[in-house]
Structure 1
Amino acid sequence: MKTAVLNSLFILMAWGSTLNAQPQIQHNLQFSSMPTKWYEALPLGNGWLGVLLWQKNDNIRLSLDRVDLWDDRPMPEIDKLRFAWVKEQVLKNQYDTVQALGDVPYEKYAAPTKIPGAALEFDCRAFGPVKSATVDISLALATIEFSNGVRMNNYVHAVEQIGFFGFENLKDPSFIPELLIPNYNTGKTGTTGNSVEGQSLERLGYAKGTVEKKVNAIRYHQPTWDGHYYEVLIEWKQIKHVLIGQWTISVDRTARMPPLITSADEPTRWPTHLEWWQRYWSKSSVHLPDTALEKQYYLDMYKFGSVARSTTPPISLQAIWTADNGNLPPWKGDYHHDLNTQLSYWPGYAANHLDLTASYTNWLWQTKAENKRWTKQYFGTDGLNVPGVNTISGKPMGGWIQYSMSPTTSAWVAQHFYWQWRYGMDRVFLKQKAQPYLREVAQHLEQITRNGNGPRKLPLSSSPEVFNNSIKAWFLDFSNHDLALVKNAFAMTAQTLKPAEANQWKQVEAELPNFSQTQTGLDIAPGLPFEHTHRHHAHLMSIYPLKVLNYAKESDRVLMEKSLDQLEKVGTREWTGYSFAWAACLQAQAKRGDQAVDMLKKFASNFCSTNSFHVNGDQEGGQYSNFTYNPFTLEGNFAFAQGIHELLLQYHDGVVEVFPAVPDSWTDVSFTDLRTEGAFLLSAVKKDGVARSVSVVAEQGGHLKIKLPFSSWTMSNFPPKRMKSSIHLIELNLKKGEKVVFEKK
């Protein structure tokens, strides 16, 4: 076998010099020793498969996972609930009966839930201490170097559902991996646990799995629920001083992989992996003067590229990195639509990755029939709503039903259909998916908010997760959270339709009440001003992400300023990590760059593990928050990345603004090919404290209004007769593919 084949498989660093990727070496994960906790591990993934590399005792451990490893059995008794009955119980002050059906089962039963796959371990004691452990994010390659010269490389192929591992410079020809299977069936009873810490795997009641070992392969077959199963397959070969291997996980089918190596001349899979990541990183870039924020940004965008593909289920709480601690993942690793899934896709649109954000809308479309069934059964309405907490097949899971079975969840997830259309301007997607989805969401909301001749209202409203799961969490008037969602849903629906039908939804929107507010800004709900710190900025949804309020309008500006002043005054003691990332996006809408950056810095310094994973609690002993725990979830990471985008580029009511919230202290900052609504790609440079240039490419063509960061400018590549301008605002009619460049005079 030619050495070149082995080199191309596992001596991979030489490839890096040929790539023109945006991340730099300073953005990589770099450790002088191996992480010893699963949530501090080196992460690799391709949307379908994921692996966490860490050290457990003296062994190097690979925690293997697959996105659709699920126990999707129905939640007991959840289908007995009816929204009208819930309202009756609330009015009778008998909420314990509701909790028994809607909340207790979530903690009482281990499933439905995401489940872990298996783990590989390598006894590396003979290699001596680890000298370095690195994830090169430009290559999506993890490398571990030992003191005796042994080197281990790992990657999960960007396109194929296969993971690879390899060791160089081995002296022991008998060095092989060991498979460790999850403790689904150990003969122990298993403790109950809770949804945050993770319940014991034994409680799932699975039959014992089988492990079949061959000379150079291991196959693990694990029965799960109701005849379902999954398999883990590992194969390896050792040639002289090199061990190479591959692994995969399959669900409800026999695990298979192409041959690891069949001949000396067979091309390896590494080039196609590299091509995908090179293309991913070429889509956009940012350059920030704050090196810590820039590194966190690139690490978060690396994670986005690792967990999203157009064909996968959406990004769940932990996606492809399920906890490897002998328990179920925090909050069962499920799909939370009261914040988590939505925030997880925020940065994909602006970063020009519409192929990956499509995974969310594709899955919502695929589960639409189940969601419609539940909508009719629970709410009694036509149209479409989505459970706020659901399984991989879209079925409700309950748990704090004010939010897990909210009447307005579909209004928030529908925003992603709107964005998928607006950022790409794909008219086929608009007609086939965005219009019908939004129309059905609007139909449900129109029916459930009917109120005779008065302003529209919900029978019951809430604001996640105010008053947690108590009866006080229900309001008899619109919360500002629900009201903002309903207003925006009708507005989005109208914007996707022709005038005659659009006017119908504009009229319905006009029948909604105004936002509840006091002298301190937006309330949580009428009679409940925002006076206590809280992790979920639900009452500010109208500012961000919905952008119902616009800072360019004086009345909105005053309300936004008061509301954000109050947010700062009340403080952060009950915040978790995502609260800081979301707050950065909120502050950026009011052009408060310094405050936004402060929020981003606090997130990166206090609420992330050493591998950049968002772990919810304050890891610096409670410096900014009373929460000091460490359950890992992903949405905070992706909200952080969007916070960076909101500093650099914003879109409000048809106007694109460049550098809208960049602090004055950021004298050198730039970005390339960030995407806005209307399918425009923008690049801009600020150097030595002065904005120098802005370029625009119209992917689909159309009318653009842009607010430049300089008042005097020259323009190239565009005829002046197709332009109108004032001091800062320019209007252009651009053809498909046309580019215009503005430079400061």
Structure 2
Amino acid sequence: MIVCNIDWPAFLARHDLTWTDIGEQWEQGAFLGNGMLGAMIYKDASGSLRWEMGRSDVTAHFQIPMFDWADPRLPIGDFLLSPVGNVRQEQMRLDLWNAEARGEIVTDRGVIRWRSLIHSVDMGLLIEVRAEGEEIDADLSFRPKHGVSPCLEFYEPVHVSREWLKAHTPPEPVVSCEGGIHCAVQDLLAGGDYATAWTEQRDGDGTRRLWATVANSWPRKGAASHAIQTVRDIAAKDVDGWIESHRAWWHDYFPRSFVSISDPYWESFYWIQMYKIASATRSDRALIDSQGPWLTSTPWPTCVWNLNVQLSYWPLLTSNRGDLGESLYTKLDDSIATLRMNVPDLCRRDALGIGRASSCVDLNSRTSAGWETGNLTWVCHNYFRHYRCCMDQDMLRDRLYPMLRGAVNFYFYLMEREDDGTIHLLPTHSPEYGQGTTRDANYDLALLRWGCATLLSLAERLGIEDERIPDWRDVLEHLTPPPVDESGLRVGRDTPFDKSHRHFSHLFSIFPLGLLQPEIEEERELAKRSIEHWLSLDDELQGYTFLAASCMYSRFFHDGDRALDLLNQLKDYIQPNTMYKENGPVIETPLAATESIHDMLLQSHTDPNRSPVMQSVIKVFIATPKAWDDVVFHNLRAEGAFLVSASRADGITQWIRITSEAGERCLIMTDLKQPVQVEGARRFDITPRSGGIFEIDLKAGETIVIADSSDIPDLTVKPVPHVPGATSNIFGMPSDTVPLKGGRPAH
């Protein structure tokens, strides 16, 4: 029997972010969130400690022509803790297990000790302050920001008149106070408003507590009354009980799965992302846009659908936290009418689509025949994996199947058949390649082929005689092969890949769709040539380039050493608090890097080449780098609705446990030469198949443990020791690190 010996508070404490010097940049701060309300804590230019507030659904519902990509998120304001004296020493810690920040500020006038949290369920922020000396008079205040699109900061409006700008700008926020509760209200040009409310309490022992919230109302106004009532409600609660209820959510969340590796950098990074993703979204709250609930100055205050949204949700499936992904999939389901209006008039009878950018509230984002036609189909690949990990048949029939069908239908308006019978695509755009509009774009060819193959599999499973089945089969039989040249996969028929490009859109047949087959030597060589050519043109590569390339080497070549080498190159882009920025801050890349870690431990991706058979292989430690000689994971999730646990010591697999939730066919690839059952409620058949694969006759609800001999190994799940000399608490701005390029700690 598996025994979990994990001291969760102690384990996560070694991954807490710590600061002995608090920086003045967003990417240097401590972040709190509950999937809607967020705060980034860092130093203000004035020397005050600031809580930069955000709420994911606060948007303009209005676009400024020539500036905004879509309805933008809007800034809210900052809570400020301003010492009386001059700061001599300061420290801060982000406690992952309890999801709270705390710190100390020592000045020449006294000491301030503080802690802060955003409640896991309630829309409430708490800042608690205890002070000594003259710092008992430290100021706690709110500085509202004007609710203007952040894009105006990046695209200076020098070419428009002051009158034009005023007509496209809402009024300044209005601050009032009634009954001890302050409120800052920002009216919107498109109707509605949002409001920040706060109040301060003082206990007899000198403890000060600031309670705050942000409320949003659209299209009618009314945010102020809602915000004031929320503050009144949370401030009346028993503080200790309120904090315990907050912690209870997090203490239930973290143990859903467990990963420990001997590499302290990536282990810490991994667990901070698990904290970050649950701070950024919840199943019933806003979907993740480019910054999550931590909006700051940025040129991208929107959802971006040609990569950012998809990558942001990658951490959730293998980590067994997929319910949080419902924030995306429910929003898609609720937006069918909008997705239909996003495609050209001619296509609206049966097609769905989404363009490059939208708000997280309204998915209005028009696309066209020559633009990014495949974005929704790519999102459906996420949706499909979400289904495969839970095997919810109602979700498949009522939600995923019609969504994917509509996305693929869009392509049928963009095809032409040449005289030889081959089907080609009209010009479409390969994200985000300059001059990337081309016939037979590899991005779209791959998505179309994957979509048709997957729809055939889903129709087979559902027993649906869909009228489109002959069309999907026709595409699979006659669609033109991917355009290639001596360097590998081209951008498309008319466009070679001949300049640096951060996006992997032209490589979709390799990753993430898995259309090329590594067991076919010609396709294996094509994949290798294409990836290395992509990486060799390095002027415009960015952080997510390397996490994607890492996944390619793990999945396609099972080369864990090369995968880790590529992932390590991401370190140059990781900021002190594990956030990420290019022209502006975005959050998808660090989140998605957890998929690179997962792929080095456990893989289970459904093979589209076997359509209409829906089949995946559970691959355990087949791409684990030699440097990670000790690894343990528990209750990671594999496609087919399997929960998988495994242990590796000194580079050798010790045992693997598999639980089937849905009774899907159980195929496993492992470095165990001849797996032997060591635990299980009955004697299971373990049958060798071709390609180093074994089949286990596991039924729904059954569990098996296998090892390389019948001797029962140590089945304890516990943190593995780190490499000798390794430090803990790597992230933040601890005393023994200095931020380098991209914020990578250097010891």
TM range (shorter): 0.7 to 0.9
Question: Is contact 1:480-1:525 (8 Å) kept?
Answer: yes
- Is 1:268 matched with 2:257? no
Match of 1:178? Answer: 141
Task: Give the whole-Å Cα distance in 1 for the aligned partners of 2:6 and 2:211.
Answer: 25
Task: Give the whole-Å Cα distance in 2 for the aligned partners of 1:203 and 1:637.
Answer: 39
Task: Label 1:170 to 1:436 Cα distance change in 2 as closer, same or farther (>3 A).
Answer: farther
Task: Label 1:452 to 1:726 Cα distance change in 2 as closer, same or farther (>3 A).
Answer: closer
Task: Give the whole-Å Cα distance in 2 for the aligned partners of 1:23 and 1:607.
Answer: 26
SS of 1:27's equivalent in the other structure is coil
SS of 1:51's equivalent in the other structure is strand
SS of 1:545's equivalent in the other structure is coil
SS of 1:564's equivalent in the other structure is helix
Letter paired with 1:268: G
Cα displacement (A) at 1:409: 1.6
Question: Is contact 1:158-1:273 (8 Å) kept?
Answer: yes
Match of 2:479 among 500, 507, 512: 512
Q: Give the TM-score, by structure 2 length.
A: 0.83
Task: Give the whole-Å Cα distance in 1 for the aligned partners of 2:84 and 2:257.
Answer: 42
Cα displacement (A) at 1:366: 1.6
* Residue-by-residue CA offset, 1:367-401 (whole Å, 9 max, x unaligned): 221110221437566321112222334455579x8
Match of 2:625? Answer: 663
Match of 2:309 among 312, 319, 341: 341
Match of 1:160 among 122, 139, 142: 122
Match of 2:360 among 392, 396, 400: 392
Cα displacement (A) at 1:515: 1.2
Match of 1:52? Answer: 40
RMSD over aligned CA atoms reads 2.8
SS of 1:375's equivalent in the other structure is coil
Match of 1:550? Answer: 517
Match of 2:543 among 577, 589, 602: 577
Cα displacement (A) at 1:167: 0.9
Task: Give the whole-Å Cα distance in 1 for the aligned partners of 2:414 and 2:407.
Answer: 11
SS of 2:552's equivalent in the other structure is helix
SS of 1:113's equivalent in the other structure is coil
Task: Label 1:711 to 1:206 Cα distance change in 2 as closer, same or farther (>3 A).
Answer: same
Match of 2:103 among 144, 156, 169: 144
Cα displacement (A) at 1:675: 0.9
Letter paired with 1:561: K
Match of 1:92? Answer: none
Task: Give the whole-Å Cα distance in 1 for the aligned partners of 2:194 and 2:704.
Answer: 53
Task: Give the whole-Å Cα distance in 2 for the aligned partners of 1:23 and 1:402.
Answer: 51
Cα displacement (A) at 1:554: 3.8
Q: Quick one: higher RCO (CA 8 Å, sep 6+), 1 or 2?
A: 2
How many residues align? The count is: 665
SS of 1:383's equivalent in the other structure is coil
Match of 1:607 among 567, 573, 582: 573
* Residue-by-residue CA offset, 1:127-151 (whole Å, 9 max, x unaligned): 8434311111122111111234431
SS of 2:213's equivalent in the other structure is strand
Letter paired with 1:51: A
Task: Give the whole-Å Cα distance in 1 for the aligned partners of 2:166 and 2:622.
Answer: 53
Task: Label 1:203 to 1:482 Cα distance change in 2 as closer, same or farther (>3 A).
Answer: farther
Task: Give the whole-Å Cα distance in 2 for the aligned partners of 1:444 and 1:398.
Answer: 13
Match of 2:610? Answer: none
Cα displacement (A) at 1:723: 3.8
Match of 2:74? Answer: 115
1:403-418 → structure 2 map (5 Å cutoff): 405-418=371-384
SS of 2:604's equivalent in the other structure is strand
Task: Label 1:639 to 1:546 Cα distance change in 2 as closer, same or farther (>3 A).
Answer: same
Identity %: 24
Task: Give the whole-Å Cα distance in 1 for the aligned partners of 2:356 and 2:153.
Answer: 27
Task: Give the whole-Å Cα distance in 2 for the aligned partners of 1:32 and 1:699.
Answer: 47
Match of 1:672 among 629, 634, 654: 634
Question: Is contact 1:564-1:587 (8 Å) kept?
Answer: no
1:531-550 → structure 2 map (5 Å cutoff): 531-550=498-517
Match of 1:284? Answer: 257
Question: Is contact 1:283-1:353 (8 Å) kept?
Answer: yes
- Is 1:444 matched with 2:418? no
1:53-452 → structure 2 map (5 Å cutoff): 53-56=41-44, 57-73=46-62, 105=66, 107=67, 112-126=71-85, 128-147=87-106, 148-171=110-133, 174-184=137-147, 193=155, 204-214=168-178, 216-239=180-203, 240-252=205-217, 253=223, 254-255=226-227, 256-257=229-230, 258-262=232-236, 268-323=241-296, 325=297, 329-331=298-300, 333-377=301-345, 382-396=350-364, 405-451=371-417
Task: Label 1:585 to 1:732 Cα distance change in 2 as closer, same or farther (>3 A).
Answer: same
SS of 2:332's equivalent in the other structure is helix
Letter paired with 1:179: F
Cα displacement (A) at 1:39: 2.8
Q: Give the TM-score, by structure 1 length.
A: 0.84
- Is 1:491 matched with 2:450? no
Cα displacement (A) at 1:241: 1.7
Cα displacement (A) at 1:575: 0.7
Letter paired with 1:730: F
Task: Give the whole-Å Cα distance in 2 for the aligned partners of 1:23 and 1:413.
Answer: 34
Q: Which moved more, 1:649-658 or 1:42-51?
A: 649-658
SS of 1:382's equivalent in the other structure is coil
Q: Gaps spanning 5+ residues in structure 2: where?
A: 218-222, 608-615, 710-747
Q: Gaps spanning 5+ residues in structure 1: where?
A: 1-16, 77-104, 617-629
Question: Is contact 1:236-1:260 (8 Å) kept?
Answer: no
Task: Give the whole-Å Cα distance in 2 for the aligned partners of 1:378 and 1:496.
Answer: 27
Task: Give the whole-Å Cα distance in 1 for the aligned partners of 2:156 and 2:600.
Answer: 39
Letter paired with 1:412: W
Task: Give the whole-Å Cα distance in 1 for the aligned partners of 2:366 and 2:406.
Answer: 23
Question: Is contact 1:210-1:220 (8 Å) kept?
Answer: yes
Question: Is contact 1:695-1:739 (8 Å) kept?
Answer: yes
Task: Label 1:688 to 1:249 Cα distance change in 2 as closer, same or farther (>3 A).
Answer: same
Match of 1:641? Answer: 594
SS of 1:330's equivalent in the other structure is coil
Cα displacement (A) at 1:166: 0.4
Task: Give the whole-Å Cα distance in 1 for the aligned partners of 2:216 and 2:155.
Answer: 27
SS of 1:135's equivalent in the other structure is strand
SS of 1:484's equivalent in the other structure is helix
Task: Label 1:218 to 1:315 Cα distance change in 2 as closer, same or farther (>3 A).
Answer: same
Task: Give the whole-Å Cα distance in 2 for the aligned partners of 1:712 and 1:125.
Answer: 70
- Is 1:24 matched with 2:21? no
Task: Give the whole-Å Cα distance in 2 for the aligned partners of 1:295 and 1:406.
Answer: 36
Cα displacement (A) at 1:208: 2.5
Question: Is contact 1:387-1:394 (8 Å) kept?
Answer: no
Match of 1:10? Answer: none
Task: Give the whole-Å Cα distance in 1 for the aligned partners of 2:188 and 2:11.
Answer: 41
Cα displacement (A) at 1:553: 4.1
Task: Label 1:182 to 1:673 Cα distance change in 2 as closer, same or farther (>3 A).
Answer: same
Question: Is contact 1:142-1:153 (8 Å) kept?
Answer: yes
Match of 2:436? Answer: 473
Q: Stretches of 4+ moved more than 6 A in 1?
A: 200-203
Letter paired with 1:312: R
Task: Give the whole-Å Cα distance in 1 for the aligned partners of 2:193 and 2:10.
Answer: 41
SS of 1:497's equivalent in the other structure is helix
Letter paired with 1:242: T
Task: Give the whole-Å Cα distance in 1 for the aligned partners of 2:680 and 2:86.
Answer: 60
Task: Give the whole-Å Cα distance in 1 for the aligned partners of 2:495 and 2:173.
Answer: 53
Letter paired with 1:55: K
Task: Give the whole-Å Cα distance in 2 for the aligned partners of 1:718 and 1:552.
Answer: 36
